Chains A and B, each alone.
Chain A
Amino acid sequence: MTETVQDTLKTTPLNAAHRALGARMVGFAGYDMPVQYEGVLAEHRWTREHAGLFDVSHMGQAKLRGAEPFKSFEKLVPGDYQGLKPGKQRYSLLLAPDGGMLDDLMAGKPDDDGLFIVVNAACKDGDFAKIAGDLAGEAELERLDDRALMAIQGPEAAAAMAAHEPKLAEMGFMDSTRMTLFGEDCFVSRSGYTGEDGYEISVPASAAERIWNTLLKDARVRPIGLGARDSLRLEAGLPLYGHDADETTSPVEASLTFALSKRRKEEANFPGAARILAELAGDLKRKRVGLNVKEGAPAREGAEIADKGRNVIGKVTSGGPSVTLGHNIAMGYVPPAFAELGTDLAVIVRGKTLAAEVVAMPFVAQRYYRKP
């Protein structure tokens, strides 16, 4: 996950701001990124109790335009984008022809100018080349590399943002809009990757540091590094692409069937539809599950998962301490016969067999703001 070749790392528009805050920087997805400021545990707790501010400018932002960009985009993903209402966004998956996941992404309709797409940092060059290439002649992709992206997350995020722009309080979970914020042209969505209420804000790179510092003037808001971002998303049961899902994983295996829209399943016209629909019908070899591990060392990526007879049946794809729950949690893949909630399994950490139980995800309840 980390890289050591410092001189080849790219920087986000907030790099100087992180250094000024005393962040510890690491290489992540080719970028020099803050892994922590104050400390992972304190940052994790701050986000769950107040509001955390994250630099996610390493992620890829783009616009897809064309005669029918939403229809075009559906050739690559299993989501219903033709049915997406203005001002909304949807989580989806970029699929290979065999149904394997090339990435997960957010795509929305914040304005009348095509589709606004946000993809993972490590995948963005490949994703954008594929989208542009596969849709050549019908839709045009414009990378928004001159934009920064920040996320503000936590129970006090909404109040902190409303202090700058009261209209933001009216947005509901997964709403997406284009608006002038801090005097700048911004894309704002009420979403995030921590399980908390909050916003993701795309801002011009030239204004990023000013906006970041303005947000941090609020005593409720503190900067949060990638370390806590990972422990927060783990508690929220959200997969980290490249770890909990990859090009061999289908959306059904990854327990992301909510991303398969009803209309698209009926039409069966997305990449890998044959495999994915067969898996939905029961022909499934493995499934991503959540595990509570209440003894011993944290089971991390690569740890084996065993059944009660000590037969290895799968592997952990991410795991660690749940700061909120006070015990270790993990996610990993097991055959469907072992995926039932309450199934007693084990994880093997440095030769020690630790009891693990299949539990529902999210591990920590999500607190998204849904409009009444």
Chain B
Amino acid sequence: MRFTKDHEWVSLDGDVATIGITRYAAEQLGDVVFVETPDAGKHVNKGDGCAVVESVKAASDVYAPVSGEVVEGNAALGAAPETVNADPEGAGWFCKIKVASSAEVDALMDRAAYDQFLSTL
């Protein structure tokens, strides 16, 4: 699993990257009440908004940590957005993106580097 400074995580399986937000991000957001995930077929560039997560108070963008084509949005979050709080780095994933190159993933922080980054916040 790799991480961004915007608190997204990426888990690469072959050429498909699963994207979500980290436990830290989920805790900062508080209770998630609505999630908007991208439709399959959508092309996203690294840094584009690719999903929206909403707490009671506010909406936040989730940025694509890698470029590629969306192959699946997590439809289960529509009926159960609270999954993002309960299991942010597992069942609370947002979307799967077919990446052109794994280099973008490799360039992200590993767990130790992300934990180190969190300790500076």
Contacts and interface: CB of A to CB of B under 8 A. Distances in A.
Please classify how large the interface on chain A is, using the bins under 10, 10 to 19, 20 to 34, 35 or more: 10 to 19
B30 A227 contact: yes
15 contacts: A36-B30, A40-B55, A40-B57, A41-B56, A42-B31, A227-B30, A227-B57, A230-B57, A231-B56, A297-B54, A298-B33, A300-B58, A300-B59, A321-B56, A350-B36
Interface of B: 30-31, 33-34, 36, 52, 54-59
B84 to A, nearest CB: 13
Contact of B34 (A41, A227, A298): A298
Contact of A297 (B31, B34, B56, B57): B34
A323 interface: yes
Contacts of A41: 31, 33, 56
Contact of B56 (A24, A320, A350): A320
A39 B54 contact: no
Contacts of A320: 33, 56-57
Interface of A: 24, 35-36, 39-42, 44, 227-228, 230-231, 297-298, 300, 320-321, 323, 350
A321 B32 CA distance: 11
A40 B34 contact: no
Given A36-B30, A40-B31, A297-B34, A323 B59 contact: no
Nearest to B55: A40
B30 A321 contact: no
Given A40-B30, A321-B33, A297 B58 contact: no
Contacts of A321: 33-34, 56
A217 to B, nearest CB: 26
A328 to B, nearest CB: 8
B88 to A, nearest CB: 15
A269 to B, nearest CB: 41
B34 to A, nearest CB: 5
Given A40-B55, A41-B56, A350-B52, A297 B36 contact: yes
A231 B31 CA distance: 13
Contacts of B56: 40-41, 44, 227-228, 231, 320-321, 323
A39 B31 contact: yes
Contacts of A230: 57
Nearest to A297: B34
Contacts of A39: 30-31
Given A44-B56, A298-B34, 18 more contacts: A24-B30, A35-B57, A36-B30, A39-B31, A40-B30, A40-B55, A40-B56, A40-B57, A41-B33, A41-B56, A227-B57, A228-B56, A298-B33, A298-B54, A320-B57, A321-B56, A323-B56, A350-B36
A61 B30 CA distance: 32
Q: Which one of A35, A231, A321, A323 has the greatest number of beta carbons of chain B within 10 Å?
A: A321
A356 to B, nearest CB: 16
A298 B52 CA distance: 11
